[in-house]
Amino acid sequence: MTQQKPTHKHIYDAQGKQLCCTLEDRIYTNAGAKKLIKPTHQHTHEHSHEHGSVLKTTIPIAVSMLLLFTAMAFDHFLHPEWFTGIARVLWYVATYIPVGFPVIKEAVESIAHGEIFSEFLLMAIATCGAFAIGEYPEAVAVMLFYAIGEVFQTIAVEKAKSNIQSLIDQRPDEAVVIRNNQQQTVKAKEVLVGDIVQLRPGDKLALDGILISEQASFNTAALTGESAPDTKTKGKVVLAGMINLNTVAQIQVTTAYADSKLSKILELVQNATTHKAPTELFIRKFARIYTPAVVALAVLICVLPYFFLTNYVFNEWLYRALIFLVISCPCALVISIPLGYFGGIGAASKNGILFKGSNFIDTLASIQNVVVDKTGTITEGVFSVQQVVLQPEFNKAEILAMVNEIEKLSSHPVATAIHEYVGENKLPITIENAEEIPAHGLKAIANGKELLVGNLRLLEKYGIKYDTTIANTVATLIVIAYGGKFAGYITIADKIKTDAADTIHKLNNYGVKTTMLSGDKTSVVNAVAKELNIANAFGDLLPEDKVAKVQELKAQNQSVAFVGDGINDAPVIALSDVGIAMGGLGSDAAIETADVVIQDDMPSKIPLAILVSKKTKSIVWQNIGLAFAVKTIVLLLGAGGIATMWEAVFADVGVALLAILNAIRIQRMKF
């Protein structure tokens, strides 16, 4: 998947501090995209800093607004004798400085760093020009309303940030570990794999691990967006960010602090804004051409009439040119478009869906095919043994003990089901030369003879004859061969997820074609597909077969999203237009390769991700249409001498405010 990288250009804030790379990137820097990973104890400081920043911005606005209203009252109602000449000019200069000086400073610093044509330069030229021809109130109004727009922008971005913030800083700095039968409080980064962490009710887990207490309930909202309690039993996986709800629990750490699922999520969120949607990239390129063109046109509006009109008045045409400059500022576009996408990422994360970039929002909004893996995606991935059928000449206890022993080599859910069914081995079993044969099964020498455990392809690979009628069994089939002979089989059943049917129903309603690919038996895959009304289903697939099926769809010029959770799904996730990984139980390889991560493993989040994408893209295009329509109308009126600087202010800052308010609607929507 091609990743769009932002080009580096310098933008500065009102205090001269470098903000970020490009004009539209300023949205993301304000949103704290590079400051998201903070220790929990810094929350209060960061929160107060953000509010202090807004307060510092509003004080100059309040001062300027008070002085402007007073000046206009003097001009139009009170008419004091002293408010004329140099006194009047100085009053308006004092009114202008609190809101105008920061913008002029940014324009100068941008020019110093090679950014000549920026929104700051346009407004600086327009307002200084307005002062030069005596239009003092209009000059102040342009800067004042721009400053107000900046405050609204900051508030809107903070709202978007707060939705994502629920997924951030969920790891406590410290953990209570039991070492030498004593409790010790240590830094979470210093906890070792294998350590026992003790979690009191209300405590938050800092690292991934396995529950060694008999049972405990957890609030998983940090990872899934769902606050419903999740009760875990002994041996179950618990993840960093989960909150213990009722009893003291002990967890054995399985993953280092930096490698936990939540750490990977933080990296995804941190890097999300580096992948920009085509619309954002277009606006970036457009602004680079548009801004200098606007300056050139403004000069022509001011100068050209001199050569064609006998009653040419310089001040009149300069005023029209200044109006043109103010109207032409691309604020509404460069602010509202990235803010719209950032809002979409925030709305999705609030629902436990993580987008790695806004470009994937664009692609998913118009996706044509959703291809899903079966086990762990559509089904629970929690198997249980249903039936054991062995040939009469084989000892059931011995065969099951050998199968159980060799399955210890595998982390597949099938192996777990067999372990739970057989229990601890009580027979003397020796396993030698054990190896895993990808997409087939396991092979070893057990008690001196060759043991094969896997699917039917494994028997065919080694020329083992078997009863072909068992291939029609509507269940996951684990076949066994021992000493070169077919020994029998174990049937294992998986459970379809409760929201799977609703997922497929919604996808069908969106006009999205659905396909299920699985390495499981074709009969099992077809049965699940029929029950869920999935259009196409293919079983008995190797990882390369899944890749081939997706390539077939892409060869038809159709966009494809693939949803999976296993290591073997990583290649096809990478190949698809949008790769979606189940992030709760999914493999690290799948999560790292994917473009979108679903935190709670619920397939119903797939259509929800599409819906959020569609709404986000719709809002972005509404803003583009609004900005261009209003600016075009007022530009024509301004060039014709009908519109004044007040209309220009509305066309620039007013439209930007409307676009910002429209962009944050996505964050208020309930999905």
Closest CA to 583 of 349, 345, 386: 349
Q: Which residues pair with 486 in a beta bridge?
A: 481
Lowest mean pLDDT among 58-67, 278-287, 601-610: 278-287
Q: What pLDDT, on a 0 to 100 scale, did the predictor assign at position 159?
A: 61
Close Cβ partners of 360 (under 8 Å, ≥ 6 residues apart): 275, 578, 595, 596
Q: What residues have CB less than 8 Å from 509, skipping those under 6 apart?
A: none
Question: Do both 32 and 138 map to the same domain?
Answer: yes
* Per-residue pLDDT tens digits for 442-479: 999 999 999 999 999 899 999 999 988 888 887 888 99
Task: Mark which of 477, 493, 509 sits at the end of a domain.
Answer: 493
- Give the residue from 630, 570, 610 showing the smallest Cα distance to 594: 570
At residue 566, the pLDDT reads 64
On whether residue 369 sits in a domain, the answer given is yes
Read off the CATH number of the domain in which 364 is found.
Answer: 3.40.50.1000
For residue 590, is pLDDT > 70?
A: no
Q: Of the spans 186-200, 323-337, 568-582, which averages the highest pLDDT?
A: 186-200
Q: What is the C-alpha to C-alpha distance for residues 32 and 531, in angstroms, rounded to an integer?
A: 46
Task: Please check whether residue 606 lies inside any domain of the structure.
Answer: no
Q: Taking residues 594-605, what's their average pLDDT?
A: 86
Of 551 and 590, which is predicted with more confidence? 551
Lowest mean pLDDT among 136-140, 438-442, 538-542, 566-570: 566-570
Residues 111, 22: Cα–Cα separation, whole Å: 14
Q: Let me know whether 35 and 147 are in one domain.
A: yes
- For residue 253, the domain's CATH number is 2.70.150.10
Tens-place pLDDT, residues 74-104: 998 999 999 999 999 999 999 999 999 998 9
Tell whether 189 and 46 lie within a shared domain: no
Question: How many structural domains comprise the chain?
Answer: 4
Asked whether residue 187 is assigned to any structural domain, the reply reads yes
Q: Are residues 184 and 331 in the same domain?
A: no
pLDDT band at 393 (very low <50, low <70, confident <90, very high): very high
588 is catalytic: no
Q: Is residue 370 part of a domain?
A: yes
Contacts of 294 (CB under 8 A, 6+ apart): 122, 324, 325, 328
Do the Cβ atoms of 664 and 342 come closer than 8 Å?
no
At 641, is the pLDDT very low, low, confident or very high (cuts 50, 70, 90)? confident
Categorize the per-residue pLDDT at 195 as very low, low, confident or very high, splitting at 50, 70 and 90: very high
Tokens (6 digits) for 202: 């209300």
pLDDT tens per residue across span 1-40: 433 333 333 333 333 333 333 333 433 333 333 232 233 3
Q: Are residues 372 and 389 in the same domain?
A: no
Query: The domain containing residue 191 runs over which residues?
Result: 174-259
SS3 (DSSP) at 397: helix
pLDDT tens, residue by residue, 226-268: 555 778 888 888 888 788 888 899 999 998 887 776 666 556 5
Within a domain: 135? yes
Residues 231-260 as b or e (16 or more Cβ within 10 Å = b):
ebeeeeebbbbbbbbeeebbbebebebeeb
Query: Is residue 560 located within the same domain as residue 503?
Result: yes
Q: Which tokens go with 505?
A: 């129903």
Q: Are residues 522 and 414 in the same domain?
A: no
**pLDDT tens string 608-636:** 999 999 999 999 889 888 888 887 888 78
- Helix, strand, or coil here: 515? strand
What SS3 state is found at 495?
coil
Which residue is catalytic, options 195, 208, 362, 373? 373
Is residue 68 in a domain?
yes
Answer yes or no: do 43 and 159 share one domain: yes
Q: What is the pLDDT of residue 228?
A: 59
605 lies in some domain: no
Torsion sign over Cα 318, 320, 321, 325: positive
Q: What pLDDT shows up at residue 38?
A: 33
Q: How many residues does the chain have?
A: 671
Same domain, residue pair 503 and 462? no
- pLDDT value of residue 65: 92
Spatial separation of the C-alpha atoms in residues 662 and 622, rounded to whole Å: 8
Distance (Å) of CA 621 to CA 174, 274, 614, 662: 46, 21, 11, 11
* pTM of the shown model: 0.65
With contact defined as beta carbons under 8 Å apart, do 5 and 103 qualify?
Answer: no
Neighbours of 166 (CB within 10 A): 15
Kindly give the residue spans of alpha helices, DSSP state H, lying in 366-440.
Answer: 396-407, 413-422
